[in-house]
């Protein structure tokens, strides 16, 4: 894409910083004076190899931060466009800019990931084209050799490490007319393919909100730490008054450990900003070429008394429109949802990333693949994910496979194609199509989707099984050792084979929708072949799986790999597994997003709710009980004793495991698209657990849709909103006659009696079966513990097939000479269980 006028601008860089070494360089300033008069309209296009702030006549142009954002610069570099008519003077004018390292030149990647600096460019290149429209003709002021440059007050900057700003280096009036630039140096034009320049198709990153200090802490070692009460992404704006040269240091971290800043999860990222005072009055400053993931900030060197009002946290992210909300009667669940939203905000800084704080912040394909449906519900992500998918397609076309992270910063990495990660190429466009109903999304991605599927087809064994090569598998399975997150319970190639069943199935549908009929047939046949291969390799005729982990069952169920009878059996096996794990989580990145759906689809809604509402570690709500305000990368990123998990993957802001929010929207609140883009809506809430209400609201492409149910005393009520141009199928929750209705646009309400016996707690007695006792993990735990004090080492199983009919009375009868006090102790367990649930 070109500008409104042809490009006459070229990329320029300071002559003096041709140095490509790793050391920090001050962010250069650029300026050029020019004359103009009676201009009717002035438009400025700006971009940089790095991050850029543009100025006209001393005024900052626009309010974007970290522009031009991150795209796969080798193929496409976005430029920003601003109407600057109002900033222009009649007469002398000055164009200015400051250029930081950003993603193009700054450090990227974890230790050992390969070369980490100057990956996309080795010079701070600036590109500006100011178009002056005089009515009948135009003039252009563009970056060329006429510009001058000088080092600015940003003496070092790095996205990972932070920014150092020395206010003594500021040059007053540098971007305004009349400034004496005689000491400034010349620039040179540098090579950069102008074909890469594109107007952005995603929203820019902006300052979105501010968060005040919640408390100031003095740590055991005497440091001062500000707690913002929310793990967030952005930076600090500070104000201070002190002597010239005094330096304030700000260190950022997400958690505290042993009363001090917990920086180990940051790995090599220094996440430290410094501000050196100009002196002589109150100074206010915030960094511009870095960002941090933090809740806590340690402040050193603050001149005078630091009070909470001197610091504010500035939250930044891509300015997407919020489209989705959820609320329920359970405050922990609401916090889990809020944590998901905050993790999404913090990981949508220009592109979808894994984490915002350590030495990564990369466009990991797998993370957004599993989180995509939740993301598309919470915010309008057509811009940011559409743009990222174009990057994915370009990198894929360039490399012949889908790199693990997009933009691909590992130019020399060995090719690697892995399920769940690489197949974001197919599944993410499909997710967006489901959310927005726009065929263009599929059309734009089709070549990438098809090429990926065809490439993996070439990796299958003759039977159609993807059984070779590295796989991340069920990444971060809680039972995998902290130092080897890929080594979970579920065989990685089972995950790959299951995902390829889904990919081929989606491919056939997408080809059909777009009218590529030959492809449709080809991919439908391939889908059958890979499904059969999966069944032959992993599924017994009964429906039991060879590698019977919760993840394996959940994938086989939700990806429609099993026949109906097998599915039912698999559901039972899955329900048994989750009960055996006492409703704690035993799944990682891959199993977790589909686990509750798998239970729901096979008639085990109660188990899904028990999982959702469990608070013991590891579980969805355990982090919430530990004060989490974002989704953690690991279930036990912080352990119950307050220590940080020793593994290297211990981010406190990773959205992947927040993918359960999608189930909360669709099943707990019951709002889901029945057709792509919500043209038809399915409203089918499934109350459960101890919830007495839940609601979801979503801004569909047609307008707002909502579903809200409540149970009050003995009445269920449901209120729904159906937008114009759509219709909805409504399944009344808990209705005694299972009523299903068709409704059109507008608001609709129903209320009716709660069915008899709904949510009545069992009254435990000697006639209670083991199976029923085991349904309540707390009751089972005290029952088993009491049993063990009399019969140490004798196993008890509440989930075996026999447990369904074995009563406590039966058990007592089987023990010929009960030890003294045993029956009484058991009866006491039952009594106190009844008291708790009464
Ligand atoms: C990232 C992930 C990513 C994974 C894959 C990690 O370092 O944080 O979320 O998907 O690597 O290996």
* Structural domain ending residue among the three candidates 301, 318, 335: 318
For ligand 1, say whether the CB of 631 is within 6 Å of any of its atoms: no
The pLDDT value recorded for residue 482 is: 75
Report d(CA 350, CA 267) in Å as an integer.
22
Report d(CA 747, CA 705) in Å as an integer.
9
How would residue 738 be classed by pLDDT, with cut points 50, 70 and 90? confident
- Does 512 map to a domain? yes
* Structural domain ending residue among the three candidates 318, 336, 365: 318
**Distance from the alpha carbon of residue 273 to the mean position of ligand 1, in angstroms:** 26
Please, are residues 767 and 807 in contact by the beta-carbon 8 Å criterion?
A: yes
Report d(CA 762, CA 772) in Å as an integer.
8
Q: Is 257 a catalytic residue?
A: no
Report d(CA 472, CA 665) in Å as an integer.
28
Phi and psi at residue 635, to the nearest 5°: -55, -40
682 and 661 belong to one structural domain:
no
Report d(CA 28, CA 100) in Å as an integer.
7
The pLDDT value recorded for residue 23 is: 65
797 and 782 belong to one structural domain:
yes
742 forms beta bridges with: 729
Three-state SS at 383: helix
The C-alpha torsion from 767 through 771 and 773 to 775, rounded to 10°, is: -140
Ligand 1 nearest-atom number relative to CA 404: 5
For ligand 1, say whether the CB of 366 is within 6 Å of any of its atoms: yes
The pLDDT value recorded for residue 522 is: 98
Of the candidates 367, 385, 505, 501, the residue with the CA atom closest to the CA atom of residue 436: 385
pLDDT tens, position by position, 539-590: 999 999 998 899 999 999 999 999 999 999 999 999 999 999 999 999 999 9
533 and 406 belong to one structural domain:
yes
139 forms beta bridges with: 132
- Does 412 map to a domain? yes
**Distance from the alpha carbon of residue 554 to the mean position of ligand 1, in angstroms:** 22
For residue 271, give both structure tokens: 């996440």
Three-state SS at 475: coil
Residue 624: C-alpha distances to residues 331, 335, 627, 759 (Å): 10, 7, 5, 25
pLDDT at 2 over 50: no
For ligand 1, say whether the CB of 694 is within 6 Å of any of its atoms: no
The C-alpha torsion from 343 through 348 and 351 to 352, rounded to 10°, is: 20
Report d(CA 578, CA 566) in Å as an integer.
18
Please, are residues 588 and 660 in contact by the beta-carbon 8 Å criterion?
A: no
Residue 283 is part of a domain; what is its CATH number?
2.60.120.260
Three-state SS at 145: coil
Least confident of 209-213, 310-314, 333-337, 485-489: 485-489
Report d(CA 271, CA 359) in Å as an integer.
10
For residue 529, give both structure tokens: 């072949």
pLDDT at 3 over 60: no
Domain that holds residue 264: 206-318
595 and 503 belong to one structural domain:
yes
DSSP 696-760: EEEEETTEEEEEEEEEETTEEEEEEEE-TT-EEEEE-TT-TT--EEEE-SEEEEEEEEPPTTTTP
For ligand 1, say whether the CB of 360 is within 6 Å of any of its atoms: yes
Phi and psi at residue 828, to the nearest 5°: -65, -40
pLDDT tens, position by position, 415-465: 889 999 999 999 999 999 999 999 999 999 999 999 999 999 999 999 999
384 and 259 belong to one structural domain:
no
732 and 792 belong to one structural domain:
no
For ligand 1, say whether the CB of 364 is within 6 Å of any of its atoms: yes
Burial (CB < 10 A; 0-12, 13-18, 19+), residue 369, is buried
For ligand 1, say whether the CB of 354 is within 6 Å of any of its atoms: yes
Helix (H) or strand (E) holding 105: helix 102-105
Least confident of 187-191, 326-330, 562-566, 804-808: 804-808
Determine the distance from the C-alpha atom of residue 467 to the mean position of all C-alpha atoms in its chain, rounded to a whole number: 29
- Does 161 map to a domain? no
For helices 517-538 and 550-558, give the axis angle rounded to 10 degrees. 150
Q: Please confirm whether the linkage preceding 511 is cis (ω < 30° from 0).
A: no
479 and 615 belong to one structural domain:
yes
Residue 625 is part of a domain; what is its CATH number?
1.50.10.10
**Distance from the alpha carbon of residue 404 to the mean position of ligand 1, in angstroms:** 9
Which residue reads 């949508």 in tokens?
348
The residue to mutate among 413, 475, 484, 588, having the most atoms of ligand 1 within 8 angstroms of its beta carbon, is 475
For ligand 1, say whether the CB of 652 is within 6 Å of any of its atoms: no
Listed as own residue / partner, the contacts of 765-769 with beta carbons closer than 8 Å and 24 or more positions apart are: 765/808, 765/830, 766/807, 766/808, 766/809, 766/812, 766/827, 766/830, 767/807, 767/808, 767/809, 768/807, 768/808, 768/830, 769/803, 769/804, 769/805, 769/806, 769/807
pLDDT tens, position by position, 790-804: 888 888 888 776 787
Q: For residue 122, is it left (φ>0), alpha (ψ between -120 and 50) or beta?
A: alpha
How would residue 18 be classed by pLDDT, with cut points 50, 70 and 90? very low
| DSSP type of residue 348 | B
CB-facing half-sphere around the CA of 100: CA atoms within 13 A: 30
- Does 461 map to a domain? yes
Name the strands in the sheet holding 671-673, side by side, starting at the edge strand that comes first in the sequence. Answer: 671-673, 680-683, 727-731, 740-743
Q: How many domains does the chain have?
A: 5
pLDDT at 648 over 90: no
Of the candidates 83, 657, 10, the residue with the CA atom closest to the CA atom of residue 336: 657
Three-state SS at 605: helix
The pLDDT value recorded for residue 818 is: 81
The pLDDT value recorded for residue 782 is: 86
Q: What is the mean pLDDT of residues 118-137?
A: 95
For residue 150, give both structure tokens: 């000088």
* Structural domain ending residue among the three candidates 318, 334, 368: 318
How wide is the angle at C-alpha 601 spanned by C-alphas 599 and 606, nearest 5°? 45
344 and 280 belong to one structural domain:
no
Burial (CB < 10 A; 0-12, 13-18, 19+), residue 331, is exposed
| DSSP type of residue 13 | E
Q: What is the mean pLDDT of residues 655-677?
A: 97
For residue 792, give both structure tokens: 């140490």
Q: What is the mean pLDDT of residues 714-724?
A: 97
For ligand 1, say whether the CB of 649 is within 6 Å of any of its atoms: yes
Residue 662: C-alpha distances to residues 374, 384, 576, 595, 727 (Å): 5, 19, 24, 12, 21
Ligand 1 nearest-atom number relative to CA 364: 10
377 and 484 belong to one structural domain:
yes
The pLDDT value recorded for residue 439 is: 98
- Does 644 map to a domain? no
Residue 712 is part of a domain; what is its CATH number?
2.60.420.10
**Distance from the alpha carbon of residue 353 to the mean position of ligand 1, in angstroms:** 9
Determine the distance from the C-alpha atom of residue 574 to the mean position of all C-alpha atoms in its chain, rounded to a whole number: 27
Residue minimizing CA distance to atom 12 of ligand 1? 472
Of the candidates 773, 756, 754, 759, the residue with the CA atom closest to the CA atom of residue 811: 773
- Does 162 map to a domain? no
pLDDT at 152 over 60: yes
Q: What is the mean pLDDT of residues 146-166?
A: 97
- Does 640 map to a domain? no
Ligand 1 nearest-atom number relative to CA 358: 8
The C-alpha torsion from 570 through 571 and 574 to 580, rounded to 10°, is: -120
Phi and psi at residue 741, to the nearest 5°: -125, 155
471 and 347 belong to one structural domain:
yes
pLDDT at 1 over 50: no
Q: What Rg value do the Cα atoms of the chain yield, rounded?
A: 30
Considering all CA atoms of the chain, what is the largest pairwise distance in Å, rounded to the nearest integer?
107
The pLDDT value recorded for residue 220 is: 98
394 and 263 belong to one structural domain:
no
Three-state SS at 653: coil
Report d(CA 294, CA 291) in Å as an integer.
10
The pLDDT value recorded for residue 16 is: 63
pLDDT tens, position by position, 23-61: 678 999 999 999 999 999 999 999 999 999 999 999 999
Please, are residues 7 and 137 in contact by the beta-carbon 8 Å criterion?
A: no
Q: Could you tell me which residues come within 8 angstroms of residue 714 by beta carbon, excluding any fewer than 6 positions away?
A: 753, 754
Report d(CA 389, CA 428) in Å as an integer.
8
Residue minimizing CA distance to atom 3 of ligand 1? 364
747 and 777 belong to one structural domain:
no
Phi and psi at residue 801, to the nearest 5°: -55, -35
Q: Could you tell me which residues come within 8 angstroms of residue 655 by beta carbon, excluding any fewer than 6 positions away?
A: 340, 343, 344, 347, 367, 371, 374, 375, 631
**Distance from the alpha carbon of residue 234 to the mean position of ligand 1, in angstroms:** 21
- Does 810 map to a domain? yes
- The mean pLDDT value of the chain amounts to 94
The residue to mutate among 160, 352, 366, having the most atoms of ligand 1 within 8 angstroms of its beta carbon, is 366
pLDDT tens, position by position, 595-627: 999 999 999 999 999 999 999 999 999 999 999
- Annotated catalytic residue within 53, 360, 457, 491: 360
Q: Is 704 a catalytic residue?
A: no
pLDDT at 14 over 70: yes
Which residue reads 């352990």 in tokens?
639
Least confident of 84-98, 207-221, 245-259, 753-767: 753-767
**Distance from the alpha carbon of residue 480 to the mean position of ligand 1, in angstroms:** 15
Q: What is the mean pLDDT of residues 300-305?
A: 97
């Amino acid at each position: 894409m070109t500008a409104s006028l042809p490009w006459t601008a070229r990329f320029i860089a300071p002559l003096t910083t041709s140095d490509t070494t790793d050391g920090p360089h001050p962010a250069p300033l650029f300026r050029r004076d020019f004359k103009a008069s009676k201009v009717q309209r002035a438009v400025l296009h700006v971009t940089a190899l790095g991050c850029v702030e543009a100025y006209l006549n001393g005024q900052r142009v626009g309010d974007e931060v970290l522009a031009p954002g991150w795209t796969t610069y080798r193929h496409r570099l976005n430029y920003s466009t601003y109407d600057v008519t109002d900033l222009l003077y009649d007469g002398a004018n000055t164009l200015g800019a400051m250029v930081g390292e950003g993603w193009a030149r700054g450090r990227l990647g974890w230790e050992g990931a390969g070369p980490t600096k100057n990956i996309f460019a080795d010079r701070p290149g600036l590109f500006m084209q100011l178009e002056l429209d005089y009515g009948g003709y135009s003039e252009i002021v563009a970056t060329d050799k006429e510009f001058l440059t000088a080092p600015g007050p940003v003496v070092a900057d790095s996205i990972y490490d932070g920014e150092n700003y020395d206010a003594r280096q500021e040059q007053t009036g540098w971007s305004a007319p009349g400034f004496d630039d005689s000491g400034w140096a010349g620039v040179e034009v540098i090579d950069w393919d102008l074909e890469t320049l594109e107007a952005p198709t995603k929203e820019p990153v902006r300052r979105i909100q501010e968060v005040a200090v919640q408390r100031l802490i003095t740590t055991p070692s005497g440091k001062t730490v500000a707690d913002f009460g929310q793990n967030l992404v952005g930076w600090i704006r500070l104000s201070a008054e002190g002597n010239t040269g005094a330096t304030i240091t700000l260190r950022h971290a997400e958690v505290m450990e042993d009363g001090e800043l917990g920086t180990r999860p940051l790995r090599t990222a220094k996440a430290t900003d410094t501000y050196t005072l100009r002196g002589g009055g109150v100074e206010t400053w915030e960094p511009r070429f870095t960002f941090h993931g933090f809740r806590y900030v340690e402040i050193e060197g603050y001149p005078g008394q630091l009070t909470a009002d001197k610091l504010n946290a500035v939250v930044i992210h891509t300015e997407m429109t919020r489209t989705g909300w959820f609320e329920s009667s359970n405050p922990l669940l609401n916090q889990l949802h809020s944590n998901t939203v905050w993790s999404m905000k913090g990981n949508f800084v220009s592109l979808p990333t894994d984490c915002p704080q350590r030495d990564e912040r990369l466009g990991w394909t797998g993370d957004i693949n599993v989180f995509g449906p939740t993301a598309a519900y919470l915010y309008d992500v057509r811009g940011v994910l559409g743009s990222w998918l174009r990057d994915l397609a370009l990198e894929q076309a360039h490399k012949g496979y889908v790199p693990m992270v997009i933009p691909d910063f590992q130019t020399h990495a060995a090719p690697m194609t892995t399920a769940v990660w690489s197949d974001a190429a197919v599944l993410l466009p499909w997710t967006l199509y489901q959310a927005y109903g726009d065929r263009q999304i599929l059309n734009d991605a089709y070549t990438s989707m098809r090429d990926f599927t065809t490439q993996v087809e070439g990796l299958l064994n003759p039977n159609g099984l993807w059984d070779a090569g590295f796989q991340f598998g069920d990444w971060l399975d809680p039972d995998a050792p902290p130092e080897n997150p890929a080594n979970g319970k579920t065989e990685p190639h089972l995950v790959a084979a299951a995902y390829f069943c889904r990919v081929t199935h989606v491919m056939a549908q997408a080809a059909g929708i777009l009218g590529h009929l030959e492809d449709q047939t080809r991919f439908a046949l391939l889908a059958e072949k890979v499904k059969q291969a999966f069944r032959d390799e992993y599924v017994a005729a009964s429906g039991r799986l060879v590698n019977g982990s919760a993840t394996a069952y959940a994938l086989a169920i939700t990806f429609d790999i099993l026949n109906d009878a097998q599915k039912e059996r698999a559901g039972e096996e899955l329900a048994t597994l989750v009960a055996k794990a006492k409703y704690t989580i035993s799944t990682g990145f891959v199993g977790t997003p589909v686990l509750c759906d798998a239970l729901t689809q096979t008639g085990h809604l109660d188990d899904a709710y028990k999982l959702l509402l469990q608070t013991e570690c590891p579980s969805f709500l355990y982090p919430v009980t530990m004060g989490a305000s974002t989704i953690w990368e690991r279930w036990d990123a912080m352990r119950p004793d307050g220590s940080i998990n020793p593994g290297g993957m211990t981010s406190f802001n990773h959205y992947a495991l927040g993918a359960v929010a999608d189930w909360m929207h669709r099943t707990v609140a019951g709002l889901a698209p029945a057709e792509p883009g919500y043209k038809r809506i399915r409203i089918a809430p499934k109350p459960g657990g101890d919830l007495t209400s839940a609601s979801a609201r979503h801004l569909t492409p047609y307008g707002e849709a909502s579903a809200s149910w409540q149970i009050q005393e003995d009445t269920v009520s449901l209120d729904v909103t159906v937008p114009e141009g759509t219709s909805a199928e409504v399944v009344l929750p808990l209705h005694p006659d299972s009523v299903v209705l068709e409704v059109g646009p507008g608001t609709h309400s129903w209320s009716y009696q709660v069915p008899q016996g709904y949510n009545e707690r069992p009254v435990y007695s000697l006639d209670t079966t083991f199976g029923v006792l085991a349904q309540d993990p707390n009751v089972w735990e005290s029952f088993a513990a009491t049993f063990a004090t009399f019969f140490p080492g004798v196993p008890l199983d509440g989930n075996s097939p026999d447990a369904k009919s074995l009563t406590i009375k039966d058990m007592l009868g089987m023990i010929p000479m009960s030890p003294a006090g045993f029956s009484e102790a058991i009866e006491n367990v039952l009594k106190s269980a009844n008291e708790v649930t009464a």
